[in-house]
Amino acid sequence: MTKLSAIGLTTLVMAVSLPLHAQRADTEWSAQGGGWHLYKKNCSGCHGFQGQGIFPVGVALKGNAFVTGTRAEGIKAVIRNGRKGPEKAHGEYGKGGHMTMPPFEFAVISDRELDILVKYLKEGFQRGEFNRP
Protein backbone atom coordinates (compact mmCIF):
# COMPACT_ATOMS: atom_id res chain seq x y z
CA MET A 1 0.00 0.00 0.00
CA THR A 2 1.39 3.38 -0.90
CA LYS A 3 1.71 6.20 1.59
CA LEU A 4 -0.94 8.19 -0.28
CA SER A 5 -3.37 5.24 -0.20
CA ALA A 6 -2.81 4.78 3.55
CA ILE A 7 -3.54 8.45 4.18
CA GLY A 8 -6.67 8.28 2.01
CA LEU A 9 -7.90 5.15 3.78
CA THR A 10 -7.26 6.70 7.21
CA THR A 11 -9.14 9.85 6.20
CA LEU A 12 -12.09 7.78 4.94
CA VAL A 13 -12.24 5.73 8.15
CA MET A 14 -12.15 8.90 10.27
CA ALA A 15 -14.86 10.58 8.17
CA VAL A 16 -17.17 7.58 8.52
CA SER A 17 -16.37 7.05 12.20
CA LEU A 18 -17.02 10.59 13.41
CA PRO A 19 -20.78 10.60 12.78
CA LEU A 20 -21.11 7.08 14.22
CA HIS A 21 -19.12 8.09 17.29
CA ALA A 22 -21.20 11.24 17.75
CA GLN A 23 -24.40 9.21 17.39
CA ARG A 24 -23.13 6.61 19.88
CA ALA A 25 -22.19 9.34 22.37
CA ASP A 26 -25.68 10.83 22.02
CA THR A 27 -27.26 7.44 22.73
CA GLU A 28 -24.91 6.79 25.63
CA TRP A 29 -25.64 10.24 27.08
CA SER A 30 -29.34 9.52 27.32
CA ALA A 31 -29.05 5.83 28.17
CA GLN A 32 -26.33 6.14 30.79
CA GLY A 33 -27.66 8.87 32.99
CA GLY A 34 -28.00 11.94 30.76
CA GLY A 35 -31.53 12.52 32.03
CA TRP A 36 -30.42 11.88 35.59
CA HIS A 37 -27.56 14.37 35.33
CA LEU A 38 -29.85 17.02 33.85
CA TYR A 39 -32.41 16.37 36.59
CA LYS A 40 -29.74 16.47 39.30
CA LYS A 41 -28.29 19.73 37.95
CA ASN A 42 -31.55 21.57 37.26
CA CYS A 43 -34.35 20.03 39.33
CA SER A 44 -33.12 18.16 42.41
CA GLY A 45 -32.50 21.32 44.44
CA CYS A 46 -36.25 21.86 44.68
CA HIS A 47 -37.74 18.46 43.84
CA GLY A 48 -35.25 16.19 45.68
CA PHE A 49 -32.81 13.62 44.33
CA GLN A 50 -35.51 10.95 44.20
CA GLY A 51 -38.38 13.23 43.19
CA GLN A 52 -39.82 13.29 46.70
CA GLY A 53 -40.19 17.09 46.72
CA ILE A 54 -38.62 19.52 49.16
CA PHE A 55 -41.13 21.58 51.11
CA PRO A 56 -41.78 24.45 50.60
CA VAL A 57 -39.79 24.92 47.39
CA GLY A 58 -40.80 21.98 45.18
CA VAL A 59 -43.57 19.42 44.89
CA ALA A 60 -42.92 15.70 44.52
CA LEU A 61 -42.43 14.70 40.88
CA LYS A 62 -42.27 10.92 41.29
CA GLY A 63 -45.85 9.71 40.87
CA ASN A 64 -46.99 13.28 40.18
CA ALA A 65 -50.25 13.26 38.17
CA PHE A 66 -49.17 16.24 36.08
CA VAL A 67 -45.89 14.58 35.08
CA THR A 68 -47.41 11.17 34.38
CA GLY A 69 -50.62 12.42 32.75
CA THR A 70 -49.43 15.37 30.68
CA ARG A 71 -47.94 15.15 27.19
CA ALA A 72 -44.24 15.95 26.89
CA GLU A 73 -44.94 19.34 25.24
CA GLY A 74 -46.99 20.47 28.25
CA ILE A 75 -44.21 19.54 30.67
CA LYS A 76 -41.64 21.29 28.47
CA ALA A 77 -43.79 24.43 28.50
CA VAL A 78 -43.87 24.46 32.31
CA ILE A 79 -40.11 23.95 32.56
CA ARG A 80 -39.40 26.59 29.91
CA ASN A 81 -41.97 29.19 31.08
CA GLY A 82 -42.37 28.43 34.78
CA ARG A 83 -45.62 27.93 36.62
CA LYS A 84 -47.42 30.38 38.82
CA GLY A 85 -50.90 31.60 39.49
CA PRO A 86 -51.87 34.90 37.84
CA GLU A 87 -51.97 36.69 41.20
CA LYS A 88 -48.60 35.41 42.42
CA ALA A 89 -45.18 36.89 41.87
CA HIS A 90 -42.09 34.67 41.55
CA GLY A 91 -41.08 33.25 44.90
CA GLU A 92 -44.42 33.51 46.64
CA TYR A 93 -45.98 30.41 48.10
CA GLY A 94 -48.39 28.61 45.84
CA LYS A 95 -50.96 25.86 46.25
CA GLY A 96 -50.12 23.55 49.14
CA GLY A 97 -47.57 25.97 50.52
CA HIS A 98 -45.04 25.34 47.75
CA MET A 99 -43.26 28.12 45.92
CA THR A 100 -44.02 28.67 42.26
CA MET A 101 -41.91 27.04 39.53
CA PRO A 102 -39.32 29.40 38.04
CA PRO A 103 -38.74 29.38 34.26
CA PHE A 104 -35.67 27.67 32.80
CA GLU A 105 -34.65 29.66 29.77
CA PHE A 106 -32.65 28.49 26.74
CA ALA A 107 -29.40 29.67 28.35
CA VAL A 108 -29.96 27.24 31.23
CA ILE A 109 -31.16 24.17 29.33
CA SER A 110 -31.13 23.60 25.57
CA ASP A 111 -34.06 22.15 23.62
CA ARG A 112 -32.13 18.88 23.17
CA GLU A 113 -31.44 18.67 26.90
CA LEU A 114 -35.08 19.50 27.63
CA ASP A 115 -36.18 16.60 25.41
CA ILE A 116 -33.86 14.21 27.27
CA LEU A 117 -34.98 15.53 30.68
CA VAL A 118 -38.71 15.24 29.97
CA LYS A 119 -38.33 11.74 28.50
CA TYR A 120 -36.44 10.78 31.66
CA LEU A 121 -39.09 12.34 33.95
CA LYS A 122 -41.92 10.51 32.20
CA GLU A 123 -40.20 7.14 31.85
CA GLY A 124 -37.19 5.97 33.86
CA PHE A 125 -37.66 8.43 36.69
CA GLN A 126 -41.21 7.24 37.37
CA ARG A 127 -39.94 3.65 37.50
CA GLY A 128 -37.31 4.62 40.07
CA GLU A 129 -34.43 4.33 37.59
CA PHE A 130 -32.14 7.00 38.90
CA ASN A 131 -28.66 7.23 40.28
CA ARG A 132 -28.24 8.15 43.88
CA PRO A 133 -25.98 11.09 44.72
How long is the chain? 133
**Residue span of the structural domain in which 50 resides:** 34-122
Amino acid at 59: V
Domain count along the chain:
1
pLDDT greater at residue 59 or residue 91: 59
pLDDT of 46 strictly over 90: yes
| Local confidence band at 129 (pLDDT 50, 70, 90 cut-offs) | confident
Q: What pTM does this model have?
A: 0.67
pLDDT of 114 strictly over 60: yes
Say what percent of the chain tops pLDDT 90. 38
- CATH number reported for the structural domain that contains residue 63 in this entry: 1.10.760.10
Q: Is-contact 55 97, C-beta < 8 A?
A: yes
Report yes or no on 90 lying in a domain: yes
Report yes or no on 81 lying in a domain: yes
Report yes or no on 12 lying in a domain: no
Three-state SS annotation for 33-66? HHHHHHHHHHCHHHHCCCCCCECCCECCCCCCHH
Q: What does DSSP assign to residue 32?
A: I
Residues 91-103 have a mean pLDDT of: 67
